[in-house]
Structure formats: structure tokens, C-alpha cells
Structure 1
Amino acid sequence: MGNSKLVALMVVMVVTVAIVVKTEAVDLCKMSEDGLMACKPAVTAPVPADPTAECCAALSGADLSCLCSYRNSFVLPSLGIDPDLAMALPSKCNLTPPANC
């Protein structure tokens, strides 16, 4: 196989992988990307909004213990989520937060 064909094949492979990764929905602890986006105004500093009904519905189906495990990681801040506001969200949605969270 010539160099130009090899380069073309590599480009096609990279583009294919990028498309597949881009089309996969974000799913964090059983919360869909839509659920995360519904809650984002309530977990964004400096002036968070009250959680919406859509946010609380999404949070009610989430794995709260799993979400708690992200409290001290870089993941939440990298998504624009304030970890302290996120940990307060279950109480604001009248959900029982996990113990030791």
C-alpha cells in the first residue's frame, strides 16, 4: 500500500472514530446529557437557579452514590458544575442524599 493510500486510510479511521465518539450521549451515573443540562443552571456558580422539575426528575433516576463519588474529582468542574452545589441538589429536589456524601 502506498503512503498516500495509507494516509487516506488513517484519516478515514480517525474521522470514523471521532463521529462515533461524538454521537454517543453523555451518561453520568444514570443521568443523561439532557438531565445534566436541565440541572446545569442549578449547579453553576456564582448565582445558581432553583432546580427545575425536569432537573429533579432526572436526578431522581440518577445513581446518587455514584454522583457523590465525583465530589472531589476534576470531572464536575470540567463540565462547569460546582461540586458543592451539585451535592446540595438532592435536598433541594426533596430527595434523600446518600449517607457520607
Structure 2
Amino acid sequence: MMARTITTAAVLMVSMLSVSMIVNANADICNVPVDDLMKCLPAVRHPPEPPTPGCCAVIGAIKPEDYPCFCQYKDNPILKVFGVDIDLVFKVPVKCGLKGVPSHC
């Protein structure tokens, strides 16, 4: 029972540290500032909202070669905490009218 409590506490600490790193305004995910990506949060959660002009501006600034980087987050539990669906991430560029962007991992 004690080992289970210690393991649970360790997992919780690592999760909290990961969340704080992601939420940190100076952090980047795939060369995009987290603050900018947060503008797209409503468009990548269920039920998805249409991307805002601010979100589309962020997505339009992402280099096509950086999109595969987002696939490494597909099973990231931190994104699940925020309710992010990685499949919706790849639908936002199309909804923003961007072409030449990967549509899935």
C-alpha cells in the first residue's frame, strides 16, 4: 500500500511539472509559443468550435515541416488534461483555409 501511494505521488508530481512546463508562457511546442497555441484550444476540443481569426493566424505561421512534430504529442496525457484531440489539431488548418498542411499523423 505504501509503495502504491509513493508511486501515485510521483506520477502526480511529474504530471504537475509537465503541466507547469506546458502552461509556462515562455514554452514552445513544435516551435510555436504555448500562448499562441492556446488561441486554438476551443477548436481542438470536443465539441470543436470554429477556429477564430487569431487561431488561424497562429496556424498560418506554422512551418509545414513543423507539423509532424505535433504527432509526438498524440498520446501525451497532458493534452488529455486540456481535452485536446490531436485529430482535431490537424483539421484546424483546413478550417482556416490553409493548403499543403498534413491532415493527420
Q: Structure 1 unaligned runs (5+)?
A: 1-20
68, 84, 87: which one aligns with 2:87:
84
Shift of 1:43: 0.6
Amino acid across the alignment from 1:53: P
CA distance in 1 between partners of 2:43 and 2:25 (Å): 25
Larger Cα Rg: Structure 1 or Structure 2?
Answer: 1
C-alpha distance in 2 between matches for 1:23 and 1:100: 27
Q: Which amino acid aligns with 2:30?
A: C
Residue identity in the other structure for 1:41: P
Shift, 1:73, TM fit: 3.8
Q: Let me know the Cα RMSD of the aligned residues.
A: 2.5
Map 1:22-101; keep pairs closer than 5 Å.
25-45=26-46, 47-62=47-62, 63-95=66-98, 96-98=100-102, 101=105
Q: Are 1:30 and 1:61, in contact at CA under 8 Å, matched by a contact in 2?
A: no
TM-score with structure 2 length normalisation?
0.60
Cα distance in 2 between the residues matched to 1:99 and 1:41? 19
Tell me, in whole angstroms, the C-alpha distance in 1 between the residues paired with 2:57 and 2:76: 25
After the TM superposition, list the runs of 4 or more consecutive aligned residues in structure 1 that deviate by more than 6 angstroms: none
Aligned residues: 80
